[in-house]
Structure 1
Amino acid sequence: MSKAHRGSGIRSEVNHGRGQCPVCKRTEVKVMYEVTIDGQKTKICKPCNAHLKATASK
């Protein structure tokens, strides 16, 4: 089975959705989870998104 459409949602973004995460400062990771931090909407990476959701539920 073909996987031609995998990642098609981020192909139109700058650098295919890759950049530096403002939370963990890692570079060249997919930053595609939009959250509000200190009143500003920013895009963060998947591990930081999971960490923020886990700490918010406690």
Structure 2
Amino acid sequence: MSKAHRGSGIRTEVNHGRGVCPVCKRTAVKVLYEATVEGEKAKVCKSCNASLKAAAK
């Protein structure tokens, strides 16, 4: 079976969901996860999202 629709949700995003993560400052990573950073909502990368959720526990 083909996987033609894989990633179709981020094709409409600017730069296909890629940008600079405001937490770790890495460039050209997928910033798809909304998290609260310093009291503001921001889109962060997958690894920063996991670390923020782990720190909240």
Quick check: TM above 0.5?
yes
Question: Which segments of 5 or more consecutive residues in structure 1 lack a partner in the other structure?
Answer: none
- Percent identity over the alignment is 75
What is the TM-score with the length of structure 2 in the denominator? 0.94
Q: What is the alpha-carbon root mean square deviation over aligned residues?
A: 0.7
Q: CA deviation at 1:19?
A: 0.3
Q: CA deviation at 1:37?
A: 1.3
When the two structures are aligned, how many residues end up with a matched partner? 57
The structure richer in helix per residue is: 2
Residue 12 of structure 2 corresponds to residue 12 of structure 1: yes
What is the TM-score with the length of structure 1 in the denominator? 0.93
Deviation string, structure 1 residues 8-49 (Cα, Å, up to 9, x no partner): 110000000000000000000000001111221100000000
